[in-house]
Structure 1
């Protein structure tokens, strides 16, 4: 066993000792460890088997870039395919390796190594064609793959979704991200900074650097503390910005929300500006057996030493082609490790970095041909670039660094372009496609001072303030000479360690004609899956470039797709309980409704509104009957705020409304309202509502609650595609107006008790008119419309006045017994009056004529949406389902949707019941139905076919109460 815990240092809590289990064996670690750092501290090298060949694998990285070791968590933490490097250690953690049986140390699947030469990239496409691919598919998927979906029940809790708007979203809390957030936060902007690591600081946590002559971690702590004190800054750790959509819409997966009952939280963020401070990822070098346990990225070893106080070996060799590895060597020496040699592929190694490592042997112009060992590295074969004899150097740890790639995944998802930087030998951001900018290492500024400068300058530019003092640091200058692969490598040289893609696989793809880099990716699976091109992608591009004799910039990159890191299905979808996936919408009196014991319903567009207000001990039907009786004989009040409301302005609004409604709206005079229907292109009813004309060029359009968003889209689509030259502007004002609707024969008594500053008499404020004024000292708009068939006053106020209005209305109506009314009573009242309801009578099959609303179909207008479709449909058939009333005989409830037939026997269905309610004015059950040629069948008897009986119903006109509308006109 190799590896040990250093006696001092690190950012772990040594006082908190955790016991954990890996592959059935017990180990211990500390709070602050990851599972990877704890395993290395315990000397565990062999942690996994490879995806395809089942070769022994160990830990390679230190973060989400980890390509080698995926684990399955067991018990309460049950989840699969977790990179071992990002699993936070906790007491009692249980984990096991994936893709190996019966164990990682003895894996039957390793037999595939014997025939590895016969199963190169794409072998399954060519080998298993006969007799049928599907015969072999299950076996192949079992043989090469990751863990299965967890079968055990996860710990208690739920997933959550949140929606947020912010001025600036910063992806990454490294040095560039932190200084950007600090400057923007001080300027007062709304800032959201998200980082995938457990703690802020990025590379500063893993290296021994200074900022302003102090340890860099001191600057990090001060910055984080100042951000935490800013109310305009939201700072999330363990939160990965995993997807970048159109119009600066981003997804953030928060894995540790800090709430006992929330497993993960997915944030959906709309940002005015996005700063990509995602840092850079170290790439591997490609040589023989570069996947042997004990072969690690140099930055990962530096992280384990400085952040976790773990020394992953005793004797190390470092293989590099750039300057960054020399600071790692300095940290290795400082930690007491024996560094046998630095193998540098460059001919000239800068003097400045040689001075960092003292007397450590530097083999310049040399490469590692292969690592030696099977279950653990025990040495390397080294050779000069110009040939000659090779030499063997013993070691138990091989560090390699092939340079750094800016993490351009989010940038690419935003559709920003990339360009190849020859100096950095990497692709860096070029032209943005959205309002986004890259800073720090994500923009190719790998030196700390430059990273801090780009972050500060970008933030100052966004905030429109002068650049503040930029911290200085002692970082080493970065320089690289690219080495895409060691040409004389012996053994399998892996470009993509996670997917077992070798240099030979890429060459095979090119020989078979797959010379586009996207085709190479799919043929070899390089850069696919969890990796998404984090480590191996640029080496694949470089290998293709070498083979084709082209520069890397002409090869281009593959597409970086979301998610950037794995995201659980639960976090993506959330749950449909409570207000989580789609937030519930509330009116200002929701709390009042709860306090009064209202039974709350979910209404269209996720509104929460009361269904009924039961008194103590009162049953459902009794409560609904009481509310209906109050409206028909006294007075009730209901909250009509959720109705869709739009304000239209412009000189062409009148003719636009004439086009989208079936009746004429342009003749309305200011102060008046008119009911109308909208049709779809196929001539079916889309929505109904009331239009108010405020002034010559200003109108209000009211729609149903559930169709408000659809109506908005309908109007905007017409204006943007067919009438783009019309002067019409649509503004959604649903949430800007709340209303309390007073309804019933005593409604005028309540209005007058509220001391309006206008005349509320029938002649001064008739049906389908409105007035702006004050009621109870509140600015309001009162509209005389009725959705109940009774005298009604719809009192509209700004949301800030709604609660006060509600209290004043109830107080003013107390002397006449005013009653709050829910949606159940509203349903009964509208059925008694034969009013339409979307989803009931308007079921997507009928037109206005079927519903007895031919009067709303203008004969004067040349055209409107759906006019010709209605005429064509009606000309094609004589059997139309038409709206009728039904009275059950005997008196009983009929379920909605029950089929109707003529005659007692079970004949073909000729219609259906759309609603059936207990009517307080008729003292019996009444209903509405759609029946073939129903208008001509008034007085006949039809039959409702139920599961166990047939119920006769009398066919009547669809209005069961006040057919002439005298009461609503009052």
Structure 2
């Protein structure tokens, strides 16, 4: 919101202006003595020490880093990102385009605005050249999120927003008031005004006190509404504070994202003052007039000692008068209008301030900070000019209503020529706009709008307003309605900066229009104007005006660039909230995990699970340990923790029919007590997962999925049930963590199982392959399945997770006489690869069908339909040169092919491009085969069995023989022991 321009005169005999001493240079080159001895909403009794660019400086609670720097005479904050030109403070809030800093201590945090960083003791910061650095160490701060529901949300605690919130609150509505400042008041915080014959701060305090004491009202300061979405959903970021009441250091500070759902919204978001572009308008010491007034009244800081004021409207006169009364030498007000406002010009003359109408600032001089301003007639800029010595130039080119949230709510904007800005152009059913966000810049009118908006929002939310909030009485001295719309002053276009953060100039804009660009969206991307942290708050409207002038079109016919959230920069940490580390990606462990840790297992991450990778003994590396584990599984007995296997309970009258549609093969014909392997495909016919289906009862199945796809497959099933087949009587429940699953593998597995399950007949005749039995294992109720993912005689023992560790230890004890060995995922991969069993996601990608894997037998030719069936009829799926799963045997049996290696036809590589036949998907040394081997996807692979192909490895081509994908026990004789 603009600096409110109402003021009740308190000096009937204005003091003559006095020259403030330039200040003395400190050791670091900064200037001191720019803090007024009194005034400002700061705690002068408390001293805060901070460091900036290596200088030790001081400030007070209530300061921002920017105000503290200015108080110490430090105007140069950083340098521009492309040209390296010095940059200072331009504004006093989130609209500032230049004062980017890096916080170094107590915790590194990049790309923050000095104007929004509240000062605290021990702060260490440095200026940036547009780029910061992320911390190398973990952030100790905590971030969280909270949900809030209300009837009326009011954004902005300026005069209009306060009255809107109070009106709605008195109706009985639940109200949330959010405001980005650390205290309510909006533009009143930056002025020295009286309302109803008392300081405006008292008027604000009374309203806030009533709001906070009203049940159902939530007032959130330091909270920026940064995104507005459908159905009354608003995101807001709150910077929380410590017990001292000012911003806490990063080590203990917390940020909270509020997720607010509201019936009605009142946007009292105010307006930003915009500059005028002229040559060398980017020097430190050049700032917005309203910013100087804010630094004066809110922080007790003078922007400089001698200031030239350049304006196109009345509001800058108030800043000039206030600064002059505080001791700043104001030699000249340069008013671009041909006639200056008589009453204001008279007040200025009484203070020794010259007003020069019909003139502009055409350029500046200075190394670093501005030292001189060039003043010339508006109609003859290229002619005679005067040079005025100054250390500050204050600029006011009008006001841009903050319409970001309104636009995000899909509200249409219209151009108002008198303001030179876009304003809300329609009424929305659930959104009202009040105050200077509408383009209305008179205080009384703004407050009236706020009252009406609050009442209207309350009524629409179902409440009846009770009593009208009285409008404050004030005198209007300055208005912006009489302003002149002026985008730029003719001059050096390469040094006339439109976007100070991006170093984008008038020349860049004209270069874009000269290249044929017409859309503001295209020009924005060509010039990068408005793409920095400030999102074009001060530059966007100016760029639009310059484009319109260059193209000879009306701004009313131009569509403004899209306002996208976030309105201000939001850290990823805040968006993540508490979802960081294990809270973001939880570490899941099985019930048997403590045993694996105690016995030296090394782990790999599979999805979110920690799975034993292998169990090295002293002196063993990965390959040695895995070969030992493989021999145990093939020759004796071994077992692994398979509890991470995805398990989904499917129940209901239509469960069988549903599974028939999910899997490529038939499941409804499966008998109770039997198990069937199945493949799932996407709608494109490509394999997405595989696993087993166990029929538990007439209306109940238990399906298994790969570990990493468990959540994905459950979501896939629910999507089809809820969107395509809601008529089916089916319920799906994840039971992955309910069961501990222990595969017991090897020729001696029958002996071990029989010793701990005396009631279970483990013979082949009584316990057939792909069947299951409920029994008791080691004194624990268990479901035992005859399933093998290794090709060996094997059993999967399932018990409740509570008993998983006890059963595991019982099996280890029972198998000790047979040399039982625990094995991990690497051994599992070798065992299944020797048998040609694919791992979905390793032997497959998004282009592999069951037929490519040699699994045509798993695709039903009887079922009328299933997911993916129609895609198998595509010509693409019938191509003979599709990549197919095969085995590869290196001619040298000791060579281990790197996984992912490409495969070519010849032993000599031709000039690029080289035709690749496929790639290696899995590659291992094998104890059973006595050599290395690999699986691969190869074009026309099934037809190439017996051929010699080549795999580029480093600087050589390794010859390999193509084989069937099943390399061990092709007859399956070992399955039954």
Classify the TM-score, shorter chain: 0.5 to 0.7
Question: Could you tell me whether the CA contact under 8 Å between 1:293 and 1:377 is conserved in 2?
Answer: no
1:743 aligns with 2:743: yes
Instruction: Report the counterpart of residue 91 of structure 2 in structure 1.
Output: 61
When normalised by structure 2's length, the TM-score is: 0.64
TM-aligned CA deviation for residue 296 of structure 1: 2.5
Instruction: Report the counterpart of residue 284 of structure 1 in structure 2.
Output: 274
2:924 corresponds, among 913, 916, 924, to: 916
What SS class does the counterpart of residue 687 from structure 1 fall into? Answer: strand
With over 3 angstroms needed to count, the CA separation of the structure-2 counterparts of 1:748 and 1:426, relative to structure 1, is farther
Instruction: Report the counterpart of residue 674 of structure 1 in structure 2.
Output: 676
TM-aligned CA deviation for residue 664 of structure 1: 1.8
Instruction: Report the counterpart of residue 15 of structure 1 in structure 2.
Output: 47
Question: Could you tell me whether the CA contact under 8 Å between 2:896 and 2:923 is conserved in 1?
Answer: no
What SS class does the counterpart of residue 532 from structure 1 fall into? Answer: coil
Instruction: Report the counterpart of residue 3 of structure 2 in structure 1.
Output: none
Distance 2:256 2:631 in 1: 43
TM-aligned CA deviation for residue 64 of structure 1: 3.8
Question: Could you tell me whether the CA contact under 8 Å between 1:277 and 1:441 is conserved in 2?
Answer: no
1:806 corresponds, among 800, 804, 815, to: 804
Question: Could you tell me whether the CA contact under 8 Å between 2:887 and 2:966 is conserved in 1?
Answer: yes
1:305 aligns with 2:296: yes
Task: Please give the per-residue CA displacement for 1:740-775, whole angstroms capped at 9, x wherever unaligned.
Answer: 10332779998998999x999999998656799999
Task: Please give the per-residue CA displacement for 1:693-726, whole angstroms capped at 9, x wherever unaligned.
Answer: 6788876654323345765787788889xx9577
Distance 2:177 2:594 in 1: 34
Question: Could you tell me whether the CA contact under 8 Å between 1:318 and 1:398 is conserved in 2?
Answer: yes
Question: Could you tell me whether the CA contact under 8 Å between 1:769 and 1:783 is conserved in 2?
Answer: yes
What SS class does the counterpart of residue 37 from structure 1 fall into? Answer: helix
Question: Could you tell me whether the CA contact under 8 Å between 2:626 and 2:826 is conserved in 1?
Answer: no
Distance 1:762 1:452 in 2: 83
Distance 1:816 1:462 in 2: 74
Distance 1:911 1:519 in 2: 43
TM-aligned CA deviation for residue 856 of structure 1: 1.5
Question: Could you tell me whether the CA contact under 8 Å between 1:449 and 1:472 is conserved in 2?
Answer: no
Tell me whether 308-317 or 413-422 shows the greater mean CA deviation. Answer: 413-422
What SS class does the counterpart of residue 708 from structure 2 fall into? Answer: coil
Question: Could you tell me whether the CA contact under 8 Å between 2:891 and 2:959 is conserved in 1?
Answer: no
RCO comparison, higher one (Cα < 8 Å, 6+):
2
1:963 corresponds, among 948, 972, 976, to: 972
Question: Could you tell me whether the CA contact under 8 Å between 1:4 and 1:42 is conserved in 2?
Answer: yes
Task: Please give the per-residue CA displacement for 1:909-949, whole angstroms capped at 9, x wherever unaligned.
Answer: 99968343555xx5966866459899999999999998899
What SS class does the counterpart of residue 147 from structure 2 fall into? Answer: strand
Which runs of 5 or more structure 2 residues have no equivalent in the other structure?
Answer: 1-21, 24-32, 380-384, 911-915
With over 3 angstroms needed to count, the CA separation of the structure-2 counterparts of 1:540 and 1:963, relative to structure 1, is closer
Instruction: Report the counterpart of residue 827 of structure 1 in structure 2.
Output: 829
Instruction: Report the counterpart of residue 4 of structure 1 in structure 2.
Output: 34
TM-aligned CA deviation for residue 689 of structure 1: 1.9
With over 3 angstroms needed to count, the CA separation of the structure-2 counterparts of 1:889 and 1:708, relative to structure 1, is same
What SS class does the counterpart of residue 836 from structure 1 fall into? Answer: coil
Q: Where do residues 482-561 of structure 1 align in structure 2 (5 Å cutoff)? A: 483-486=483-486, 496=498, 498=500, 517-518=520-521, 527=530, 529=532, 531-541=534-544, 553-560=556-563
TM-aligned CA deviation for residue 291 of structure 1: 6.0
TM-aligned CA deviation for residue 4 of structure 1: 0.8
What SS class does the counterpart of residue 537 from structure 2 fall into? Answer: coil
What SS class does the counterpart of residue 40 from structure 1 fall into? Answer: helix
With over 3 angstroms needed to count, the CA separation of the structure-2 counterparts of 1:869 and 1:423, relative to structure 1, is same
Instruction: Report the counterpart of residue 157 of structure 1 in structure 2.
Output: 137
Distance 2:549 2:907 in 1: 84
With over 3 angstroms needed to count, the CA separation of the structure-2 counterparts of 1:247 and 1:217, relative to structure 1, is closer
What SS class does the counterpart of residue 744 from structure 1 fall into? Answer: strand
Distance 1:234 1:812 in 2: 61
Question: Could you tell me whether the CA contact under 8 Å between 2:740 and 2:804 is conserved in 1?
Answer: yes
What SS class does the counterpart of residue 706 from structure 1 fall into? Answer: helix
Distance 1:226 1:260 in 2: 32
Distance 2:488 2:884 in 1: 82
Q: Where do residues 603-622 of structure 1 align in structure 2 (5 Å cutoff)? A: 603-612=605-614, 621-622=624-625
Distance 2:679 2:272 in 1: 63
When normalised by structure 1's length, the TM-score is: 0.64
Task: Please give the per-residue CA displacement for 1:615-641, whole angstroms capped at 9, x wherever unaligned.
Answer: 788765548846984898667462533
Task: Please give the per-residue CA displacement for 1:50-92, whole angstroms capped at 9, x wherever unaligned.
Answer: 8999998753212342235667999999999876645777879
Instruction: Report the counterpart of residue 370 of structure 1 in structure 2.
Output: 361
Q: Where do residues 675-754 of structure 1 align in structure 2 (5 Å cutoff)? A: 675-679=677-681, 685-691=687-693, 702-707=704-709, 724=724, 727=727, 734=734, 737-744=737-744
Question: Could you tell me whether the CA contact under 8 Å between 2:232 and 2:262 is conserved in 1?
Answer: no
RMSD: 7.5
1:816 corresponds, among 811, 814, 817, to: 814
TM-aligned CA deviation for residue 550 of structure 1: 8.7
Distance 1:627 1:456 in 2: 74
Q: Where do residues 382-397 of structure 1 align in structure 2 (5 Å cutoff)? A: 397=392
Which runs of 5 or more structure 1 residues have no equivalent in the other structure?
Answer: 99-146
Task: Please give the per-residue CA displacement for 1:874-909, whole angstroms capped at 9, x wherever unaligned.
Answer: 975499866569799979987767899999999999
2:70 corresponds, among 33, 40, 53, to: 40
With over 3 angstroms needed to count, the CA separation of the structure-2 counterparts of 1:518 and 1:842, relative to structure 1, is closer
Distance 1:825 1:12 in 2: 68
With over 3 angstroms needed to count, the CA separation of the structure-2 counterparts of 1:314 and 1:178, relative to structure 1, is same
1:30 aligns with 2:59: yes
